[in-house]
Amino acid sequence: SYELTQPPSVSVSPGQTASITCSGDKLGDKYACWYQQKPGQSPVLVIYQNSKRPSGIPERFSGSNSGNTATLTISGTQAMDEADYYCQAWDSSTVIFGGGTQLTVL
Amino acid sequence: EVQLVESGGGLVKPGGSLRLSCAASGFIFSTYSMNWVRQAPGKGLEWVSFIRSSSSYKYYADSVKGRFTVSRDNAQNSLYLQMNSLRAEDTAVYYCAREWHRDSSDLDVWGQGTTVTVSS
């Protein structure tokens, strides 16, 4: 079965750029999307179709997807961006989530 | 306002059954495919099931295949998940989520979740 691999944790200083990767076999041939989830809250879609931002998502969130890796980039990271982030793709009639990355802003 | 509201969670013994519901409002429910996604305590997101807008296609995670059944009533703007033969590992918050783009299966609207606890 298809798998998506994320680093368990990423740390970033306020104002710096955070990059969270998501790896899967030929992931670049599929669409990837990203969700943000804060403690006690439901997930929020922050990037869809590799690099598009839904309405209301700040411009500091961007995405890319090529080869075997999709990347979520947060430019000028703010304290409010501290959360868990999940990548997601679709393969063989199955929705697949990555294991999640805890982003710490310190 | 576009909204999904889950209900039906609770405490159930191993081997028992539970039916979750998801009430949709603020959008044309009958035109969207829907998903169930769960999250065990302290764990990541796990996709559970998908149903096409017309109910023509239904897909399940291997972990629930044969035990869970997804259905919908477009006239009632409602999504359901019938869960049978429940196990301790089914303990989780269950979310319903709307599929936004069919070719990328991104989930743009999520409910607040309903908690299912399987324990004796």
Distance from CA of A93 to the nearest CA of B (A): 7
**The pLDDT of residue B50:** 98
The answer to whether the Cβ–Cβ distance between B106 and A94 falls below 8 Å is: no
Q: Model confidence over A39-83: pLDDT tens digits?
A: 999 999 999 999 999 999 999 999 999 999 999 999 999 999 999
* Å between A98 CA and nearest CA of chain B: 8
Share of chain B above pLDDT 90, in %: 98
Of B46, B57, B104, the CB nearest to A90: B104
Q: Indicate yes or no: CB of B104 within 8 angstroms of CB of A98.
A: no
The answer to whether the Cα torsion of B100, B116, B25, B55 is positive or negative is positive
pLDDT bucket at B74, cuts 50 / 70 / 90: very high
- Would you state the pLDDT for residue B86? 98
Dist CA B17 CA B9 (whole Å) = 11
Q: What is the mean pLDDT of residues A30-36?
A: 98
DSSP state of B85: S
The per-residue pLDDT for range B18-64, each reduced to its tens digit, is: 999 999 999 999 999 999 999 999 999 999 999 999 999 999 999 99
Judge contact between B41 and B91, C-beta under 8 A: yes
| Residues of chain B positioned with their CB less than 8 A from the CB of A44 | 110
- Mean pLDDT of the residues in chain B: 97
DSSP letter string over A29-55? GS--EEEEE-TTS--EEEEBTTTB--T
Using a pLDDT cut of 70, give the percent of chain B over it.
100
pLDDT value of position B111: 98
Q: Looking at residue B104, what is its pLDDT?
A: 87
